[in-house]
Structure 1
Amino acid sequence: MEPISSALKRQIVVPSFQERYDTIRREILENEEVQRFLAENDRIVNKEMVERSLPKLHEFISQSSVCCNCGSTENCTNYLKGFIPKLFISQNAIDVEYVKCEQKVIEDERRDIESMISSMYMSKDVLRARLKDLSLDNDSRIEVAELATAFVEKTKQTGKLPSKGLYIYGKFGVGKSFVLGAIANELATIKIKSVLVFVPEFLSEMKHSISDNTFQGKIDYVKNAPVLMLDDLGAETLSSWTRDEVLGTILHYRMAEELPTFITSNFDYDGLESHLATSQKGDVEVVKAARIMERIKAITIPIQMGGNNRRQ
């Protein structure tokens, strides 16, 4: 009977170190992104530098070099969760640095905002929203998508934010908040921060901020946001103070500074003006409501969003 050791030697063929090295080297040098990097730096890179840098190049190709849009950095498969590798030349060698991916940028900005404004609330579907995911099953939704896309694309092309946002109104549950989240996430990919607040909770938070001396800091943070998004304006119970000293202050500043503001509401312009005119005490203040609406009309483009209630 043949000894088992002899049988194993005969059946198991272990590649030599040189064979394994050559296979990995070929895999590295045939990688499209590595080839692109070498071509872009052909005046600097030489054969010796490439050979010396093979371990770093292998580290680079072993990971995703673009954001995988996994919805959460906790699901990231890269060596450093939320970071993607980039090649660069340092001290006559090719090296790897790590930069935040799009998802990491979004999550970090969201944490920064939440540390200042607790009423910054986005549901899970809104957290992951992208404009390409918006259902286009009627003309109004197509128009909303076109306006939102135009805003983002103009920002990308010019490097400047348009001065006007959108006033998206429609029935409960048609996806207005989803659009805000999608725009915020698209802007985050070009490192532009959006502050999205749920208005009813925000106004309640502002009342309580007076007692802990954080009112002015919160007002300044919101009114100076690169892009401000006020979700569900009109669903709150208003007092004259929250209307004039909170909403009025923020909207006046953003109008004066031409800062883009997005608003969602169940009311159209006229319905919101009627809502703003009546305080929780039953007082009707038409002039003050008209003043708020003047500011809203100056900084937004109204668009109705229709469709079925997607929360049912």
Structure 2
Amino acid sequence: MEPINRTLSKMMNVPKFKERYEMLKQELLNEPQIRSFIAANPELTEAEIEKSLPKLFEYKSQVRDCNECGSVEQCKNMMQGYHPVLIKSRNYIDIKYEACEMKIKSDAKKKHAERIKSLFMPRDVLEASFDKLDEAMHDSHDEDREAAIRRALDFVENYENKRSANGLYLYGPFGVGKTYIMGAIANRLAEKGISSLIVYSPEFFREMKNSIGDQTLQEKLETVKKVPILIFDDLGAETMTSWTRDEILGVILQYRMMEKLPTLYTSNYDYDELEEHLAYSQKNGIERVKAKRIMERIRHLTDSSFVGGKNRRN
């Protein structure tokens, strides 16, 4: 088999091929980024540039694909999410690949999402922000709602600065935005690299009960106990049993109290109403002492705020 360089040498002696080759070469060297790179490296000789033409062709095709790219998922480059950068390597021009701006943003978004774990929560809550709350607050002129949002911001600031941060207990009627405020807290903390878990209480307790059968109860319980920020959404909407209250909720809150891990809540009930709800279980009737024990942990480790206003779900 004839060596490829000898074949190319012969082809270069064919007038039409040589003419076409020179035209493509000049087009390539006139690419703005390639021209700028060569100008910035005047020590490159003609022979070195000639030797580098395959890499320059690769660079041109990859840059073209980058310019036409709409997202990391649509990336056509050899390394998805990476764009080519020209470098000088010994006596020729080479390429290295670096993460593009879209990949950097995409990776940051994924890390952000990973910091907010959720069980049974709607997407709009996971995308909540204080910026949107500010806009809504200016429109509503609702003093209770404004006070709740200020307390939420205070919680974030205190937690960020490692000051003692009690949890929050937001209560009020349906649809006034209690859960959305909690979502905004979780997102603001995620921006700072702080993980949180938001759980919809009725589905969470049902999930824990079902976990007995597949023997994953302890594993799930450990996760919820130890997450840096735990948010119980709609506490009080579940059907309460002694087991749910004492072996799940009580165990979680006891651990978090001992480890000084903040727990946040939303509920339709105020403290007294929630205590009444916790006191009643389907099988054992009224158990006020056990309910009071749970409520002592909630009362002393949270700041309570009423959230009023119109039902925003309608």
Q: What's the TM-score, normalizing by structure 1? A: 0.69
The aligned amino acid for 1:79 is V
Question: How far 1:163 moved relative to its partner?
Answer: 3.6
Aligned to 2:298: 296
Residue ranges of structure 1 left out of the alignment (5+ in a row):
1-15, 30-46, 64-75, 115-119
Aligned to 1:209: 211
Q: 1:169·1:267 contact (CA, 8 Å) conserved in 2?
A: yes
- RMSD between aligned alpha carbons? 3.9
Aligned to 1:78: 71
What is the 5 A alignment of 1:1-312?
A: 17=27, 21-22=31-32, 48=41, 77-79=70-72, 96-97=98-99, 98-99=103-104, 100-109=106-115, 113=117, 120-134=119-133, 135-136=136-137, 137=140, 138-156=142-160, 158=161, 160=162, 162-281=164-283, 283-312=285-314
CA distance in 1, matches of 2:131, 2:257: 30
Aligned to 2:9: none
The aligned amino acid for 2:214 is D
Aligned length: 256
Deviations 1:10-58 (A, max 9, x none): xxxxxx8489634x589x99xxxxxxxxxxxxxxxxx549x99x969x9
The aligned amino acid for 2:227 is A
What secondary structure, in the 3-state scheme, does the structure 2 residue paired with 1:210 have? Answer: helix
CA distance in 1, matches of 2:255, 2:269: 23
CA distance in 1, matches of 2:190, 2:123: 17
Question: How far 1:209 moved relative to its partner?
Answer: 1.1
What secondary structure, in the 3-state scheme, does the structure 2 residue paired with 1:192 have? Answer: coil
Greater C-alpha Rg:
2
CA distance in 2, matches of 1:219, 1:167: 22
Q: 1:177·1:264 contact (CA, 8 Å) conserved in 2?
A: yes
What secondary structure, in the 3-state scheme, does the structure 2 residue paired with 1:211 have? Answer: helix
**Alpha-carbon distance change, 266 to 102 in structure 1, aligned in 2, over 3 angstroms:** farther
Task: From the two aligned structures, give the one with the greater helix fraction.
Answer: 2
Question: How far 1:167 moved relative to its partner?
Answer: 0.5
Identity of aligned residues (%): 43
**Alpha-carbon distance change, 258 to 77 in structure 1, aligned in 2, over 3 angstroms:** farther
Q: 1:164·1:301 contact (CA, 8 Å) conserved in 2?
A: yes
Residue ranges of structure 2 left out of the alignment (5+ in a row):
1-25, 45-51, 75-79, 90-94
Question: How far 1:154 moved relative to its partner?
Answer: 3.8
